[in-house]
Amino acid sequence: MKKFFLFALALIIMGLSAQAQQKKVPMDPDVIVGKLDNGLTYYIRKNAQPENRAEFYLIVNAGATLENPDQNGLAHFCEHMAFNGTEHFEKHDIINYLQSIGMKFGPEINAFTSHDVTAYMLQKVPTDVPENIDTSLLVLYDWAGGVSYEEEEIDNERGVIHEEWRSRRSPDFRMSTRYNKVLYKDSKYATHDVIGDIDIIDNFEYETLRSFYNDWYRPDLQAIVAVGDFDPQLIEKKIKELFSQRPAVESPRPRTYSEVPGHEETLIAVETDPEATNTMVQVYYKHDPAKDKGMDYYRESLKQQLYNSMVNARLGELLQQESNPFIYGVSVYTSLVRTKDAYILFALAKNNQVLPTLETMITENQKVKRFGFTEGELERAKSDVLAQIEKQYNDRNKRKSAEYIWEYLNNFLENEPVPGVEFDYEFTQEELPGISLDEMNQLAKNWITDENRVVIITGPEKEGVEIPTSEEVMAAINKADNTEVEAYVDKFVDRPLVEEVPDAGSIVSSSVDEELGTTSWTFENGVQVVLKPTDFRDDEILMSAYSLGGTSLYPNDELISAQFASDIADQSGLGAFDRIALDKALSGKMVRLYNYIRGNEEGMSGSTTPKDLEALLQLVYLNFTDPRIDDQAFKAFMSRIKASLQNRSSNPMTTLMDSAQVIGANYHPRVKPLTAERLEEANADDMRYIFEERFGDPSGFTFYFVGNINPEEAKPLISTYIGGLPKVKRNESYKDHGIRPPEGVVEKTFKRPMETPKATVYIEFNDEFDYDNAYDRMLLSSVIDVLDIRYTETIREEEGGTYGVRCSVRQSKFPYEHYTVTIYFDCDPENADNLKDIVYREIEKLKKEGPAAKDLKGVKENLLKTYRESLKENRSWLKKLEKMDKYGTPAEEYKNYEQMVEKLNAKDIKKAAKRFFGKDHIELILLPESTENSKKNPMLDKQG
């Protein structure tokens, strides 16, 4: 009997174990997951999108919450030091090497630190050269345990981080630092804000920094993630050989997690800042995260998606009402920090509408809690989730390598399941239909609780803006909690998008470009269509369309109406459907369409799947034939925009940006900063006729379709909804109003009150050039790329003067051929003149000496690398095809691009620097002042 009992008990235990295993979410079979003897974890996946590229990440399960009190900010400092010398790379050799193979510091060579994790990333590493893979892994190996921490480099980096601290000290950051003490009360999340204590940053002992690195940068807290176009078995072999050399740490410090204690009462934080431009209302209902992340957890995540979708659809409907008290609102259940989840309500309130906004957000959630959702809402949300997962499934073999990284990061850090798209698709198909309305309605009861609730109010400290007290906030909460509410009424327009399908138009001319792989049609109504089938994504079709004209065709007193006409049309809906009804009608369809009216053109941008192509084309047809600009939509939208502009002058940067805009146009009357007062110039009647005029004549439009589209299969639909547009014939183009930059040198300095003293230096060069000269355009871009490298080395690294210098160039053909180069950065006010001089000094050096060989090589490699990646991107081809027509860019320019890059040389760049950086330029400097003065924007009048 005893043996039988033990045997039966064993069977029961085995059965329970088997059930537990069945509930576990499986790991994606296409990813290799392993752990070395020293504790390091690795994730490896072969993925050929993009071709000959790979992503290499080092994930460290350590962040700001592990800092000792005297290390506040040093987790982030450790991240910076990884780029300043390691065991195998001196000083900045890591950046120099990676730039030499075509990668860019910032976009592709970077890192980040948060409360609980530090991550280092090498993105789009070229893998067609084996040495690049070996060196990338060696870089990760050094970051994981071989950073040098030379004292000179530590001291140099203090300045960089001090300037990052200065740049990040925005009003929202200052207020969040204060209200986090309430949100994360009695936890380290309340006191360690990643960027840290500036006194510690400036003065810590060297060994204090090394101590953090030695304690927490160890194999058992690290993971290597490698995804890309390579042999995964070879990568695994290399990782094992290299990373096994680091021994496990004996008697390591325990990796603890900072708990966020619960509280029965509602906690309230009210914070203001003189530079704040928005009034925000946030409500948090904190919850413990799931411990067991098996099948039940995975099913629960589907319910969270559905809930978030349905509540946000309701909040979106409120935005269509002029009387609505907030500008924007959203609701979401999400992970708050490692040890706490939260159901969050967030809204941007209109001025003096904090309490009505708070009451509205809580009341809308109380409606769900008391009455639940409707069957119609749930079915639409399910159809949206199914459409999204179907698209992911159809594109499963064309996912970019970068899309996998965060899945593996979250699996390593928080044991989030990574079963793969195939499993997700089958699981969603099987489980979603069985999720009942009762289940969904129960979520509100679980999430919306009286305990562990935190309400945060932030806003401008400004005359005329009323921010409630904590007592008033609590009274509003109690009022909303106990207000009698009515159930939501789900209104739905049950009719087809296009009730009378037009007769198909005839194609009057057709051509095929075998080399570009395009098919072109011209319809009898004058519309031109260009199609380029690709296999880059299996479930993606991108569309764009344009016609010349834009806002340039309207007088100054109609300019605001012209600029916002497409926005109001979008908010109004189409045909028989207002915006709310249109969104409901499109549920379950992967369709996006955006209209625009810009300075010199109007057009559309859209995306869809092969299955939903007809829906996209129907939206296009309705935009031309039956657009809407409703008075209610006009009033609601303009009310929100006006509210969003009312406090913009509180931010000192507004002075600089408005000044750059106005001075750069030499005070032309058509170029003025957008203000709440200027919005009064707009009216709905003007918008109606402007929109209908801009989109009333299809004959000037060219449409482009790129993606998984078969021209012959798509021809009937395109002929119907585009070829079938009414025939109108106008010969129209844009109007040049003579907006030009000033001649000579313009130098202005502005002083504004600032909470955190900061200088911003802005320099702009403008001039005319031959846009049609492709080599000149490449030379200009290359000059900027070289300067970007030089400013990183000098102003950031050598001087420690700024977190980063932003260099950019804009090249335009319309309304006249010209370029605009901008260079700007933030810094210590005492250092502004010195760093500004370096900007000009590097330009003069480039004019006299040309680029250094290493810089030129890096620029050329990046041009080639970026170009080759673009050849497999639908969006890049969409832009190329449009440019060919709009700007008359010959196809040969793209076909001969690599030869043009090879032609680039130091002599030509030196000459280009002389041509493109003449004496004429604009120099603006924003400085803090110690005394208050008028906050009137000085650039609204010419005197400055």
| Cβ pair 527, 698 in contact under 8 A | yes
Q: What pLDDT is attached to residue 934?
A: 34
Contacts of 267 (CB under 8 A, 6+ apart): 182, 183, 185, 453, 454, 455
Please say if the pLDDT value at position 18 is more than 90. Answer: no
In this predicted structure, what is the pLDDT of residue 476? 96
Decide if pLDDT at 824 tops 90. yes
Q: Which two tokens stand for residue 731?
A: 């010969």
pLDDT confidence of 728, banded at 50, 70, 90?
confident
Q: Give me the mean pLDDT over the 40-58 stretch.
A: 97
Per-residue H/E/C for 664-677:
HCCCCCCCCCCCCC
Cβ atoms of residues 43 and 408 within 8 Å: yes
407 SS3 class = helix
Encoded tokens for 898 = 């690599």
pLDDT of 940 > 80? The answer is no
Coil vs helix vs strand at 64: helix
pLDDT over 70 (residue 936): no
Asked if the model's pLDDT at residue 181 lies above 70, the reply is yes
Q: How confident is the model at residue 892 (pLDDT cuts 50, 70, 90)?
A: confident
Q: Determine the pLDDT at residue 894.
A: 83
* pLDDT (average), residues 841-864: 97
Q: Which two tokens stand for residue 293?
A: 């992340």
CB 79 within 8 A of CB 113: yes
The pLDDT value given to residue 614: 98
pLDDT band, very low/low/confident/very high, at 2 (cuts 50, 70, 90): very low
> Within 13 Å and on the Cβ side, how many CA atoms surround 18?
6
C-alpha pair distances (Å), 866 with each of 87, 124, 204: 30, 10, 41
Q: Could you read off the pLDDT of 627-670 as tens digits, one per residue?
A: 999 999 999 999 999 999 999 999 999 999 999 999 999 999 99
Give the 3-state secondary structure of residue 48: coil
Helix (H) or strand (E) holding 815: none
* 601-608/53-60 β-pairing: unpaired
Instruction: Please tell me the distance from the alpha carbon of residue 605 to that of residue 592, in angstroms, as a whole number.
Output: 8
* Residue 932 confidence (pLDDT) above 70: no
Of 596-600, 655-659, 788-792, 933-937, the least confident: 933-937
Which amino acid is present at 765? F
pLDDT > 80? residue 938: no
Alpha helices per DSSP H over 723-872: 774-791, 832-849, 853-870
Give residue 751's pLDDT: 96
pLDDT band at 890 (very low <50, low <70, confident <90, very high): confident
Backbone angles phi, psi at 268, to 5 degrees: -130, 135
Res. 21 pLDDT band, cuts 50 70 90: very low
Contact 272, 461 (CB under 8 A): yes
List the beta strands (DSSP E) in 414-567. 453-460, 507-513, 518-523, 528-533, 541-548
In whole angstroms, how far apart are CA 151 and each of 155, 197, 205, 217, 218? 6, 20, 10, 19, 22
For the range 526-529, what are the long-range contacts, defined as Cβ-Cβ under 8 Å and sequence gap of 24 or more? Answer: 526/698, 526/699, 526/700, 526/727, 526/728, 526/729, 527/698, 527/699, 527/701, 527/702, 527/703, 527/722, 527/723, 527/725, 528/701, 528/702, 528/703, 528/885, 529/702, 529/703, 529/704, 529/705, 529/718, 529/722
The angle subtended at Cα 329 by Cα 325 and Cα 334, nearest 5°, is: 150
What is the layout of strands, in order, in the sheet containing 340-349? 267-273, 453-460, 279-287, 340-349, 326-337
Distance of alpha carbon 933 from its chain centroid, rounded? Answer: 36
Q: Residue 411 is encoded by which pair of tokens?
A: 């699996």
Q: How large is the average pLDDT for residues 822-838?
A: 97
Closest by CA to 178, choosing from 405, 366, 458, 526, is: 458
Question: Are 328 and 446 contacting, i.e. CB atoms less than 8 angstroms apart?
Answer: no
Q: Residue type for 293, please? A: K
Tokens read off for 257: 């997690």
| Averaged pLDDT for residues 277-294 | 96
Listed residue (259, 156, 274, 270) closest to 206, CA to CA: 156
| pLDDT for the residue 259 | 96
Could you give the CA distance from residue 755 to residue 928 in angstroms, rounded to a whole number?
A: 9
Q: What are phi and psi of 758, to 5 degrees?
A: -155, 140
Tell me phi and psi for residue 49, to 5 degrees: -125, 110
User: What is the H or E stretch that residue 42 is in?
Assistant: strand 41-46
Angle among Cα 543, 547, 552 to the nearest 5 degrees reads 130
Which pLDDT band holds residue 103 (cuts at 50, 70, 90)? very high
Sequence-ordered list of residues with C-beta below 8 angstroms from that of 726, at least 6 positions apart, any chain? 525, 624, 625, 698
pLDDT in tens, 428-474: 999 999 999 999 999 999 999 999 999 999 999 999 999 999 999 99
Distance CA(810)–CA(550), nearest Å, equals 19
Q: What percent of the chain has a predicted confidence (pLDDT) above 90?
A: 93
Structure tokens at 728: 């109108």
Lowest mean pLDDT among 5-19, 96-110, 655-669: 5-19
C-alpha span between 393 and 919 (Å, rounded): 56
Quote the CA–CA distance of 202 and 162 in Å, as a whole number.
Answer: 7
Say which residues have a Cβ less than 8 Å from residue 124's Cβ, sequence separation at least 6.
Answer: 50, 53, 54, 55, 103, 108, 402, 865, 869
Mean pLDDT of 555-581: 96
Quote the mean pLDDT of the chain: 94
Give the distance from CA 337 to its chain's centroid. Answer: 21
pLDDT tens-digit series, residues 206-233: 999 999 999 999 999 999 999 999 999 9
Closest CA to 111 of 134, 84, 80: 80
Average pLDDT of the residues in 683-693: 96
d(Cα 4, Cα 665) in Å, to the nearest integer?
92
Tell me how far CA of residue 223 lies from CA of 86, 121, 219, in angstroms. 19, 12, 8
Residue 684, number of CB atoms within 10 A of its CB: 18
Could you tell me the two tokens for 870? 């673009």
Nearest partner of 248 among 144, 125, 165, judged by Cα? 144
With H, G, I as helix, E, B as strand and everything else as coil, classify residue 110. Answer: strand
Q: Please say whether the beta carbons of 764 and 784 come within 8 A.
A: no
Do the beta carbons of residue 89 and residue 221 sit within 8 Å?
Answer: no
Among 308, 285, 444, CA closest to 369: 444
Which residue, 726, 346, 780, 708, is CA-closest to 523? 726
